[in-house]
């Protein structure tokens, strides 16, 4: 017996060292392939997962539990949790049921339908005993297994609650899950609520990663099923969305349902807490989507149906990330795009920029308006004569006042004849031949007000992948300095998505929207004018879209030394303070497209440090 105990303890110690060894091996490999910066990010994330969040996120003090159990809501509906069972291991089944029974909001019912093989009887006996002892638990043994959708629909038919929640048979709920969901429903009148989630191995102590999600963003959902778990929705919304799960989309039946629900919902709310614990084991999609490859085709089919219902025409394709999608929207007509390029000297940069537009762009119906601002070099004006003489689509207009980027863009837009305004810095170089089409396909949608692309520094690291409000002094660029092409584990660099803002270095705006919001705010002459523009566009009711499929080089200095010294630093800090004051709501409460559990200190979407407020 002692030998057995010693062997077991020794094995556990070896496994602990084994896991640590492989952690260091992964970090070392990451440093070699993706550089020391990414290796540091991975290590920070490991520390934060295991110390800042992880199991502590699953704990609930007795005082908190008592307070939640005694809390009262204006309406206290029954929430029906539907769970289809199929050959569920008993240890997983017991743990799942206990997590429901531990809920601090107690007006729930658990609807279990069992499509297990005929030989799988132990779980049936367990569930029948549960149902006899606990009136809130209902169990039905199905005559045959007809697939996840049909089995889930059988559980939906058992449900009597006003709201319905979806739970997988081998996963767990945080004790506060239903309480927090109902609090969101009451506070915001939501018809659909989703939460963040944690992925674990054996117990919630073994959390290895999190899914910290943005608030509802339709373009992100069209790129990947980021909603996933834990999701609760009103019974009436389900009826308006066409009813339950559709068997033709088995494998992506949840994705199909979420697309239909969000199409009809009056309010979709996100609770930024990890209230769902997704078990990571062999055969689980949490481990590897390759375990169930048919889900990819089912997902594309569900997305095609969604586009048709929404009156959107486009081709659905796989993105460079598992279970993620790219949509090539059908372009409408042949509208003119007016490219506005402010310039003061920098002739070589401007020449390279224009040459790349002319030589690489497949979209030909464009005009380029160069807004000349106090150039001094004779060769600059000679270049103007050359380029306007060689291409009638290029014009030069002169702005003789002091530099104000916002005023320059507005002046250029006043001379534009196109249906779309494309703000472009003079130090850009086109990479993607269809860069204008990739932006135009979103800008043509009536619900979109601004579109930005993926920009790289000359050393092939990311300069811009969207703007996050609240990073740094006022706002920061997503994934800045991340290596180009290293998209493994970073779905945000592979899909089009909604964000709060995109950079004015490359931003397409429908002319009608530009006029509606009265262009760029000239009170921001240098910095944050593009972010301010996007926030005003969003305030007017439009979406902002970032697409990684419009790629360009941006020859901006990585160091931005001009904003770090002397008068320029004072100017930058003054504009940052002005921006924070004007947009204090979003700055203080957090960017809706950037989860509050993520850090504000870095631009890599890593988990918030323990000492961050």
The pLDDT value given to residue 299? 95
Q: Which of 288, 305, 320 is where one domain is finished? A: 288
Report if pTM > 0.85.
Answer: yes
Coil, helix or strand for 373? coil
| In a shared domain, residues 97 and 171 | yes
Coil, helix or strand for 421? strand
Say if CB 285 and CB 292 are below 8 A apart. yes
| DSSP for 457-497, written as a single string | -TTSBEEES-EEETSTTSEEETTTTPBTT--TT-GGGTS-E
| In a shared domain, residues 48 and 69 | no
Residue 5's pLDDT band, with cuts at 50, 70 and 90, is very low
Say if CB 426 and CB 394 are below 8 A apart. no
Residue 213 lies in a domain: yes
Average pLDDT over residues 320-339: 96
Residue 286's pLDDT band, with cuts at 50, 70 and 90, is very low
Least confident interval from 290-299, 356-365, 431-440: 290-299
| In a shared domain, residues 44 and 66 | no
Whether the predicted pLDDT of 290 surpasses 60: no
Say if CB 421 and CB 415 are below 8 A apart. no
Whether the predicted pLDDT of 585 surpasses 60: yes
The pLDDT value given to residue 472? 85
The pLDDT value given to residue 527? 93
Residue 188 lies in a domain: yes
Q: Which of 5, 26, 52 is where one domain is finished? A: 52
- SS3 per-residue string spanning 219-287: HHHHHECCCCCCEEEEHHHHHHCCCCCCHHHCCCHHHHHHHHHHHHCCCEEEEEEEEEEEECCCCCCCC
Whether the predicted pLDDT of 494 surpasses 90: yes
| In a shared domain, residues 480 and 405 | yes
Least confident interval from 128-137, 271-280, 317-326, 603-612: 603-612
Residue 413 lies in a domain: yes
| DSSP for 83-138, written as a single string | EEESS--HHHHHHHHHHHHT-SS--EEEEEEE---TT--HHHHHHHHHHHH-TTEE
The pLDDT value given to residue 24? 60
Q: Between these two residues, 237 and 587, which has the higher pLDDT value?
A: 237
Residue 298 lies in a domain: no
The pLDDT value given to residue 122? 87
Residue 78's pLDDT band, with cuts at 50, 70 and 90, is very high
The mean of the pLDDT values for the chain is 89
| In a shared domain, residues 464 and 551 | yes
pLDDT digits (tens, 9 = 90+) for 37-67: 666 655 554 444 444 444 455 678 889 999 9
Say if CB 496 and CB 546 are below 8 A apart. yes
pLDDT digits (tens, 9 = 90+) for 382-411: 999 999 999 999 999 999 899 999 999 999
| In a shared domain, residues 68 and 38 | no
Domain of residue 19 covers: 13-52
The pLDDT value given to residue 209? 87
The pLDDT value given to residue 465? 96
Whether the predicted pLDDT of 485 surpasses 90: no
Average pLDDT over residues 474-493: 87
| In a shared domain, residues 18 and 70 | no
- How far, in Å, are 48, 177, 216, 423, 500 from residue 272 at the CA level? 17, 11, 11, 34, 17
Residue 182 lies in a domain: yes
Residue 16's pLDDT band, with cuts at 50, 70 and 90, is very low
Residue 529's pLDDT band, with cuts at 50, 70 and 90, is very high
The pLDDT value given to residue 203? 81
Say if CB 464 and CB 477 are below 8 A apart. yes
| In a shared domain, residues 400 and 283 | no
Coil, helix or strand for 358? helix
Give the whole-angstrom CA distance, residue 84 versus residue 431: 48
| In a shared domain, residues 153 and 279 | yes
What CATH number is attached to the domain comprising 578?
3.90.550.10
| In a shared domain, residues 43 and 77 | no
- How far, in Å, are 48, 277, 282 from residue 202 at the CA level? 19, 11, 12
- SS3 per-residue string spanning 303-354: HHHHHHHCCCCEEEEECCCCCEEEEEECCCCCCCEEEEEEECCCHHHHHHHH
The token duo for 589 is 């409460």
| In a shared domain, residues 276 and 381 | no
Give the whole-angstrom CA distance, residue 77 versus residue 64: 21
The pLDDT value given to residue 131? 95
pLDDT digits (tens, 9 = 90+) for 242-252: 999 999 999 99
Residue 99 lies in a domain: yes
The pLDDT value given to residue 98? 95
The token duo for 602 is 């870095």
| In a shared domain, residues 442 and 534 | yes
Q: Which of 253, 271, 288 is where one domain is finished? A: 288
The residues near 315 (Cβ < 8 Å, ≥ 6 apart) are: 327, 328, 330
pLDDT digits (tens, 9 = 90+) for 198-241: 998 888 888 888 999 999 999 999 999 999 999 999 999 999 99
Residue 299 lies in a domain: no
Whether the predicted pLDDT of 93 surpasses 50: yes
Say if CB 532 and CB 424 are below 8 A apart. no
Residue 596 lies in a domain: no
Q: How many domains does the chain have?
A: 3
- Percent of the chain whose predicted confidence (pLDDT) is above 90: 76
φ, ψ of residue 381 to 5 degrees: the values are -70, -30
pLDDT digits (tens, 9 = 90+) for 531-553: 999 999 999 999 999 999 999 99
């Amino acid at each position: 017996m002692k030998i057995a105990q010693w062997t077991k303890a020794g094995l556990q110690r070896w496994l602990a060292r084994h896991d640590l060894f492989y952690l260091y091996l992964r970090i070392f490999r990451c440093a070699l392939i993706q550089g020391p910066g990414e290796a540091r990010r991975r290590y920070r994330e490991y520390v934060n997962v295991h110390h800042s969040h992880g199991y502590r996120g699953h704990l609930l003090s007795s005082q908190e539990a008592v307070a939640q159990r005694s809390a009262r809501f204006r309406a206290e509906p029954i929430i029906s949790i539907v769970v289809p069972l199929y050959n569920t291991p008993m240890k997983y089944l017991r743990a799942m049921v206990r997590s429901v029974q531990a809920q601090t909001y107690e007006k729930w019912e658990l609807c279990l339908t069992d499509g297990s093989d005929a030989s799988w009887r132990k779980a049936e006996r367990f569930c029948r005993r549960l149902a006899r002892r606990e009136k809130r638990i209902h169990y039905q043994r199905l005559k045959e297994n007809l697939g996840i959708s049909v089995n889930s629909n059988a559980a939906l038919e058992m449900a009597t609650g006003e709201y319905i929640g979806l739970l997988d048979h081998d996963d767990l709920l945080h004790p506060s899950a239903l309480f927090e969901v109902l609090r969101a429903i009451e506070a915001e009148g939501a018809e659909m609520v989703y939460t963040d989630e944690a992925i674990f191995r054996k117990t919630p102590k073994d959390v290895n990663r999190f899914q910290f999600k943005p608030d509802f963003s339709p373009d992100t959902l069209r790129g990947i099923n980021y909603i996933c778990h834990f999701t609760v929705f009103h019974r009436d919304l389900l009826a308006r969305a066409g009813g339950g799960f559709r068997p033709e989309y088995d494998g992506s039946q949840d994705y199909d349902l979420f697309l239909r629900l969000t199409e009809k919902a009056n309010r979709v709310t996100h609770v930024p807490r990890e209230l769902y614990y997704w078990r990571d084991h062999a055969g689980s999609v949490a481990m590897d989507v390759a375990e169930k490859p048919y889900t990819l085709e089912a997902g594309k089919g569900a997305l095609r149906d969604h586009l048709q219902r929404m009156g959107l025409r486009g081709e659905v394709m796989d993105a460079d990330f598992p279970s993620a999608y790219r949509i090539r929207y059908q372009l409408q007509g042949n509208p003119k795009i007016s490219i506005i390029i402010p310039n003061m000297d920098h002739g070589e940069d401007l020449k390279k920029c224009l040459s790349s537009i002319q030589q690489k762009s497949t979209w030909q119906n464009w005009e380029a308006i160069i807004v000349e601002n106090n150039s001094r070099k004779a060769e600059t004006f000679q270049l103007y004569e050359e380029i306007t003489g060689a291409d009638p689509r290029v014009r030069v207009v002169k702005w003789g006042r002091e530099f104000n980027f916002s005023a320059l863009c507005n002046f250029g837009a006043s001379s534009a004849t196109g249906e779309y305004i494309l703000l472009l810095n003079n130090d850009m170089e086109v990479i993607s031949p269809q860069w204008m089409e990739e932006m135009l396909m979103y800008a043509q949608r009536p619900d979109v007000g601004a579109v930005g692309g993926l920009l790289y520094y000359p050393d092939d690291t990311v300069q811009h992948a969207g703007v996050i409000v609240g990073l740094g002094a006022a706002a920061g660029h997503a994934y800045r300095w991340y290596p180009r092409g290293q998209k493994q584990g970073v779905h945000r660099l592979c899909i089009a998505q909604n964000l709060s803002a995109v950079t004015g270095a490359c931003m397409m705006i429908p002319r009608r929207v530009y006029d509606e919001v009265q262009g760029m705010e000239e009170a921001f002459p240098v910095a944050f004018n593009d972010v301010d523009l996007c926030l005003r566009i969003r305030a007017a009711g439009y979406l902002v879209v970032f697409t990684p499929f419009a790629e360009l080089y941006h020859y901006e200095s990585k160091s931005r030394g001009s904003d770090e010294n002397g008068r320029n630093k004072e100017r930058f800090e003054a504009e940052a303070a002005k921006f924070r004051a004007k947009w204090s709501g979003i700055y203080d409460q957090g960017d809706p497209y950037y989860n509050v559990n993520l850090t504000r200190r870095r631009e890599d979407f890593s988990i918030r440090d323990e000492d961050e407020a």
